[in-house]
Chains A and B, each alone.
Chain A
């Protein structure tokens, strides 16, 4: 058995004796061991993540079909987007994926302070991502009339199918941005429980692991959305 001898002298008794502190939490009674509970939970998360991929597969499929049918509209649409914001957001998400992976490792090693720092950075990156998306893309393009479907009112469009491009752009990036927000909320819950009860440690970090997996899949989707929308023309 691993000896867990981290110095906890500075931690107030209120936290150490809380039933939600990771040392005081047990696996649910219907599991034989904590490991079985962890593995089952993680497997369930992977099943859920596969349905997330299938959700975005519909959007990727729509992208491929419309691109094949209306290549001019797709080429024009891609040129309306500035790759710098897309690349910046890619870097933000990759960096936050790294901090998310770090937070799992730090929870496993019971380094509570740096664990919380990494979670906080991940949340901050989520906010930066959504901010860039809104401030430099959505709120610039929408007033110009580069809007989906019948909301479209941009006078200088050339291809009759450009409203379709904007529909796919807003649906794809919008659902992705929604996932970013959900991921940030998950990490906010983790951060709160870590701060209030030190709820996560070497034997209890299922929520951290699964939130990080969710965050990585959000990153993974963006890794494909970025070149499809911004670079391929």
Chain B
């Protein structure tokens, strides 16, 4: 390149804000960090290794649970996966995003943002984890397993409904039970199998791997007929796994069960509603 092109390039020529060249010329980004390609490849290799590690850890855990027929504590699964993800995230932020070599202000923005995220998560978890402390006081509005509102229930506020998606009438069933009966284009539901007198096929597929208890729609008790019932007869005392989710049978009862569960401990007589005792 000749000198005249140089003169035509504002970046490299005379700087009107610094005509005497007092400030060091930094237009060529001399201070900018140029990553080392060997380092970048090593980081990529480490990241791929950690991906393989987390998948391997997951599969090892699944194998241990089936081979030795034990239930590992849930925190092993969560802590294993999330700590590996954290290491990967730090590597990406430090080396690919170059926070390690960058101005500290950018790292500060990121860390402050993560602090906010930890507030969101932390307070949500404190809320959920401590509800049992106040549930006794708020017994009337809260029921075990939710309010039991189904899709056909009127919205709490008649002027405002957040229901989205297709407006289907499930006649009091939950969406999962409605789907179980009706199925879809690709997978037939229970009604189809009943029409073809082949209900056993449906329930065999349904209970396969998930035989915990008899489903409410299983009126002819294929749970026992197909041999899944022996699971229920065995003692599950050593499986100290807490049961969560909806109370079984909740959706078969269209009436919300407000106040029908009397407080066994008593003691809050002034809060107990008048339900016949």
- A: residues with CB less than 8 A from B are 1-2, 4-5, 8, 16, 23-27, 32-35, 38-39, 42-43, 46-47, 49-50, 53-54, 57-58, 60-61, 64-65, 68-73, 76, 83, 87, 90-91, 94-95, 97-98, 100-102, 104-105, 108-109, 143-145, 148-163, 202-204, 212-213, 216-217, 219-220, 223-224, 226-228, 231-233
Check if A227 sits within 8 Å of B35, measured CB to CB.
no
Interface hit among B113-121, B134-142, B225-233: B113-121
Check if A33 sits within 8 Å of B26, measured CB to CB.
yes
Tell yes or no: B156 within 8 A of A by CB: no
Chain B residue contacts of A162, Cβ below 8 A: 176
Check if B55 sits within 8 Å of A152, measured CB to CB.
no
Check if B96 sits within 8 Å of A149, measured CB to CB.
no
- Could you tell me which residues of chain B, from 133 to 192, have a CB within 8 Å of some CB in chain A? 151, 163-168, 174-177, 179-190
Check if A158 sits within 8 Å of B184, measured CB to CB.
no
Report the tally of A-B residue pairs with Cβ distances under 8 A. 247
The secondary structure that dominates the B interface is helix
Residue from A68, A94, A216, A228 in contact with B125 in the complex, judged by beta carbons closer than 8 Å: A68
Chain B residue contacts of A27, Cβ below 8 A: 11
Chain A residue contacts of B165, Cβ below 8 A: 148-151
Check if B244 sits within 8 Å of A69, measured CB to CB.
yes
A-B contact pairs, 14 of them (CB 8 A): A5-B1, A32-B17, A33-B15, A43-B109, A87-B55, A91-B51, A98-B40, A98-B44, A149-B164, A150-B167, A157-B176, A163-B175, A202-B29, A203-B28
- A3 to B, closest residue via Cβ: B28
- Evaluate whether A152 and B179 lie within 8 angstroms (CB atoms) in the complex, with A105-B37, A143-B185 already known: yes
- B: residues with CB less than 8 A from A are 1, 5, 8-12, 15, 17, 25-32, 34-35, 37, 40-41, 43-44, 47-48, 51-52, 54-55, 58-59, 74, 77-78, 81-82, 84-85, 88-89, 92-93, 95-98, 102-103, 105-106, 109-110, 112-114, 116-117, 120-121, 124-125, 128-129, 151, 163-168, 174-177, 179-190, 202, 205-206, 210, 212, 244-246, 251
